[in-house]
């Protein structure tokens, strides 16, 4: 970008201007891990491939237009396309470090990549972001709009399922204050306005706001210490917890639909809650009780009920005793046992919730008060409570991790001690195995962490297992359809991505496939299709575990799939010349690339070389590319080999000489092997050439001096320097001009 002289103010659409005005937030806008790739039609961000054992919502392919007034295109995995036009955007897009910027009415749009989608950071000039007014809008084609809490969902018209979600999680005034904003759906438009409750926050200042466009398969927030409940219809309900990496409590809730792989916001609770309990009732509703909350000190005693059919909450009777860090377990008779915990002091009490009468009743006291423990319903109907923090003796002792366990008998309403664990544990997991035993793994404690043990309720004994691959705290444990147990993430001394799998048949552990994201203080849930959903844990990206994509020797190695080409595949893959071992789509049956050595492609079909590249014989059309163009270096392209006639066999590329084209003044595009025809940065030009304002590669005019002041005057005196200065002034005038076309025409005539 040319500037009007040394020390000149950067243009409003430049990365430098953004860094100058919002230095604390500029990196989030300009320094994404992935940059848009310039194309002849604009700027492209490739789709992500959800392959392997862990799958998360795939990012669609996004193509930004060359001109800001044209549509942004979101190309979905199912072949559909959604077009979004930013109202008020204008002019040619420009590379701004790793983002793309457009001028817009009252400011600048910066589009940048995220792991799951894209963010449209808006830099709004002083006086634009006035309280209650719409400051930006986007017109949507190819999807219906509906509001879900603070988000707007883009819904597939045929299936009625959300495919994209728009949120505005971050907004700042130039002074650094956070500014509240609101998103609304108005017909086919998504509108953004400054929240009416923050009239003083905007104050006429410049504002930087972050509308994010991401797949509906990502969560609405990066919550931790929430609860997860499997609903009767197969959906999963997430409630409360901390959001924004543990800095804020929330009353929000959201639903995961395993059929569409999408998240949608549910109605919020009446109170913020963290370290609460949640349990599915026999009538299909969900009981949520206790926990800590900022806004209301009564959260620890209150309870409420979620009705999935109505997507609504209603108050339940309050508990007898305030509780946080407790456990909730449904009993065979439909009542819910909530045990121990502490909001301020330890509680050795437990109480029962009767969903029919909406009442709470204290049980006999527990043997030991505890919190951050686990509770597991046994096949006998008893409840095993174990570990947690507690006092070993008098109330004057300090709290320590406990190795004790106790059993609640619903028939008598009493508690009794069970055999002690081999290790004291806090923040561990407990999983009921298929044979009725209980696996307890990890946690804080003198000997806990990487070890685990199994409780046998018949003999009241604990048996150590082999060690996990790594110590874990605040991890998740989920029973797989095979009877094995998946342990995922947690504070594990590494990235939080690692997993372990326990096999009850051998009483041993083996490392599982790593997750794509790190997760701690998250939850795991078993889905109806046998997959495992990992949600939250300092990440808004949920992911699903499946054996699809894992290495295998036979079908026995694939819990949820079949063994094809040495990997667990999502289908039997019986199509000719298809494979499940393609790295970009591991575990999915797809056509193998032409020339692949995975199979003798098409040989059994007798195609005699005339193959369409997708495993089928085809009449190759005249001038079809039998061998694509390829770059020999940064500025030379080897020409493609074309079919000489309709239906002819493709020429042998190994025996045919191929011409090489010099791409200068442009560079060679390594994506398609062809010479570029336009530029958006110097990287698109051959050495010695520069990218002009008209997106052409030209030789830069010689400059007499690189300095400022008098030396700069010498540069202006030369013909090349004068041209450069005139180009700079012309570009600046075009960017700043707000006159009408008629006015500009009149000015030209006068000149």
pLDDT of 135-150, one tens digit each? 999 999 999 998 877 7
**Range with the poorest average pLDDT among 316-325, 437-446, 704-713:** 704-713
Per-residue pLDDT band at 442 (split at 50, 70, 90): very high
CB 315 within 8 A of CB 325: no
- Is the pLDDT score of 130 beyond 60? yes
In DSSP terms, 661 is beta-bridged to 637
Distance CA 652, CA 650 (A): 6
Task: Annotate 81-101 with b (16+ C-beta within 10 A) or e (fewer).
Answer: ebebbbebbebbbbbbbbbbb
590: pLDDT confidence band, cut at 50, 70 and 90?
confident
Annotate 465-505 with DSSP letters as a single string.
Answer: -PPPSS--BS-EEEE-TTS-EEEE-SB-SS-S--EEEEETT
Q: What is the pLDDT of residue 352?
A: 98
- Beta-carbon contacts of residue 696 (< 8 Å; ≥ 6 apart): 678, 679
Q: Which tens digits make up the pLDDT trace of 332-371?
A: 999 999 999 986 667 789 999 999 999 999 999 999 999 9
pLDDT of amino acid 481:
77
Under the banding of pLDDT at 50, 70 and 90, the label for residue 64 is very high
Q: What six digits make up the tokens of 551?
A: 């290495």
In this predicted structure, the answer to whether residue 595 has a pLDDT above a threshold of 60 is no
CA distance 406 to 373: 11
Residue 566 has a pLDDT of 83
Q: What distance in Å separates the CA atoms of residue 54 and residue 531, rounded to the nearest whole number?
A: 10
Q: Stretch 707-725: mean pLDDT, rounded?
A: 36
Confidence band, pLDDT 50/70/90 cuts, at residue 420? very high
Helix (H), strand (E) at residue 300: none
**Domain ranges across the chain:** 15-210, 428-550, 552-620, 627-698
pLDDT of 711 reads 36
CB 680 within 8 A of CB 101: no
Closest residue by Cα to residue 215 from 143, 137, 136, 138: 143
Task: Please check the confidence at residue 574 and state whether its pLDDT lies above 80.
Answer: no
Look at residue 173 and tell me whether its pLDDT is greater than 70. Answer: yes
Read off the tokens for 729.
């002034």
Q: What is the mean pLDDT of residues 428-440?
A: 97
Q: Could you tell me the pLDDT band of residue 579, with boundaries at 50, 70 and 90?
A: confident
Residue 485 CA to residue 194 CA, distance in Å, equals 48
**What average pLDDT is seen over the chain?**
80
Q: Name residue 203's beta-bridge partners.
A: none
CA atoms of 364 and 350, how far apart (whole Å)? 7
Q: Rounded mean pLDDT of 436-465?
A: 91
Using an 8 Å Cβ cutoff, are 217 and 263 in contact?
A: yes
**Per-residue pLDDT at 422 exceeds 50:** yes
Which tops the pLDDT comparison, 664 or 739? 664
pLDDT at 733 over 50: no
pLDDT, position 522: 94
pLDDT, one tens digit per residue, over 252-306 is 999 998 877 788 889 999 999 999 999 999 999 999 999 986 444 567 899 999 9
Q: What percent of the chain has pLDDT over 70?
A: 79
What is this structure's pTM? 0.64
User: What architecture (CATH level 2) is domain 428-550?
Assistant: 6 Propeller (2.120)
Q: With cut-offs at 50, 70 and 90, classify the pLDDT of residue 748.
A: very low
């Amino acid at each position: 970008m040319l500037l009007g002289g040394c020390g000149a103010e950067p243009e409003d659409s430049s990365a430098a201007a953004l860094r100058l005005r919002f230095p604390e937030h500029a990196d989030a806008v300009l320094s994404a891990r992935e940059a848009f790739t310039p194309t002849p039609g604009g700027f492209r961000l490739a789709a992500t491939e959800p392959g392997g054992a862990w799958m998360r919502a795939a990012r669609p392919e996004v193509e930004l237009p060359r001109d800001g007034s044209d549509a942004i295109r979101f190309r979905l995995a199912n072949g559909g396309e959604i077009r979004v036009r930013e109202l008020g955007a204008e002019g040619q897009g420009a590379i701004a470090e790793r983002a793309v910027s457009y001028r817009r009415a009252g400011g600048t749009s910066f589009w940048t990549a995220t792991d799951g989608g894209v963010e449209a950071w808006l830099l709004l000039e002083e006086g634009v972001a006035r309280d209650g007014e719409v400051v930006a809008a986007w017109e949507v084609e190819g999807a219906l709009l509906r509001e879900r809490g603070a988000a707007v969902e883009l819904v597939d018209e045929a299936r009625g399922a959300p495919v994209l979600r728009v949120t505005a999680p971050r907004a700042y005034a130039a002074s650094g204050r956070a500014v509240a904003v609101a998103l609304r759906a108005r017909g086919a438009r998504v509108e953004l306005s400054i929240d009416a409750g923050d009239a003083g926050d905007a104050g006429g200042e410049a504002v930087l706001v972050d509308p994010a466009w991401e797949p509906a398969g990502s969560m609405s927030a990066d919550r931790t210490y929430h609860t997860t409940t499997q609903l009767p219809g197969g959906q999963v309900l997430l409630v409360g917890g901390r959001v924004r990496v543990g800095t804020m409590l929330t009353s929000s809730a959201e639903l995961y639909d395993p059929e569409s792989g999408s998240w949608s916001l549910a109605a919020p609770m009446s109170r913020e809650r963290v370290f609460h309990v949640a349990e599915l009732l026999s009538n299909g509703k969900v009981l949520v009780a206790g926990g800590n909350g900022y806004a209301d000190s009564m959260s620890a005693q209150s309870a409420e009920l979620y009705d999935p059919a109505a997507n609504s909450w209603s108050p339940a009777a309050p508990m007898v005793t305030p509780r946080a860090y407790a456990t909730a377990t449904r009993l065979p008779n439909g009542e819910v046992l909530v045990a121990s915990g502490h909001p301020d002091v330890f509680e050795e009490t437990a109480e029962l919730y009767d969903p029919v009468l909406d009442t709470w009743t204290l049980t006999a006291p527990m043997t030991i008060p505890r919190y951050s423990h686990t509770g597991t319903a046994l096949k006998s109907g008893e409840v095993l409570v174990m570990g947690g923090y507690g006092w070993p003796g008098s109330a004057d002792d300090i709290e320590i991790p406990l190795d004790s366990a106790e059993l609640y008998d619903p028939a008598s309403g009493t508690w009794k001690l069970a055999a002690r664990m081999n290790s004291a544990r806090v923040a561990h997991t407990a999983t009921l195995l298929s044979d009725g035993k209980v696996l307890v793994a990890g946690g804080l404690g003198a000997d806990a962490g990487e070890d685990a043990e199994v409780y046998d309720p018949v003999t009241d004994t604990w048996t150590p297992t082999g060690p996990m691959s790594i110590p874990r705290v605040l991890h998740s444990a989920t029973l797989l359809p095979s009877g094995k147990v998946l342990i995922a993430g947690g504070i594990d001394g590494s990235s939080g991505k690692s997993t372990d799998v326990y096999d009850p048949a051998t009483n041993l552990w083996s490392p599982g496939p790593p997750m794509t994201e790190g997760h701690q203080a998250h939850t795991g849930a078993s889905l109806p299709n046998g997959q495992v959903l990992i949600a939250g844990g300092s990440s808004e990206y949920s992911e699903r575990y499946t054996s699809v994509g894992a290495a295998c020797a036979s079908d026995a190695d694939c819990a949820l799939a079949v063994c094809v080409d040495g990997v667990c595949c999502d289908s039997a893959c019986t199509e000719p010349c298809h494979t499940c071992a393609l790295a970009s789509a591991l575990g999915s049956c797809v056509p193998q690339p032409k020339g692949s050595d995975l199979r003798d492609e098409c040989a059994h079909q007798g195609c005699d070389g005339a193959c369409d590249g997708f495993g089928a014989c085809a009449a190759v059309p005249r001038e079809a590319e039998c061998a694509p163009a390829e770059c020999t270096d940064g500025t030379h392209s080897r020409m493609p080999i074309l079919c000489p006639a309709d239906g002819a066999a493709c020429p042998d590329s190994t025996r045919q000489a191929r011409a090489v084209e010099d791409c200068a003044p442009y560079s060679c595009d390594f994506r398609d092997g062809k010479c570029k025809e336009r530029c958006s940065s110097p990287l698109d030009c051959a050495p010695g050439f520069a990218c002009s304002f008209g997106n052409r590669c030209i030789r830069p005019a010689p400059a007499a001096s690189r300095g400022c002041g008098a030396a700069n005057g010498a540069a202006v005196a030369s013909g090349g320097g004068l041209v450069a200065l005139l180009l700079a002034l012309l570009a600046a005038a075009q960017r700043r001009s707000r006159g009408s076309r008629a006015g500009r025409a009149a000015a030209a005539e006068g000149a």
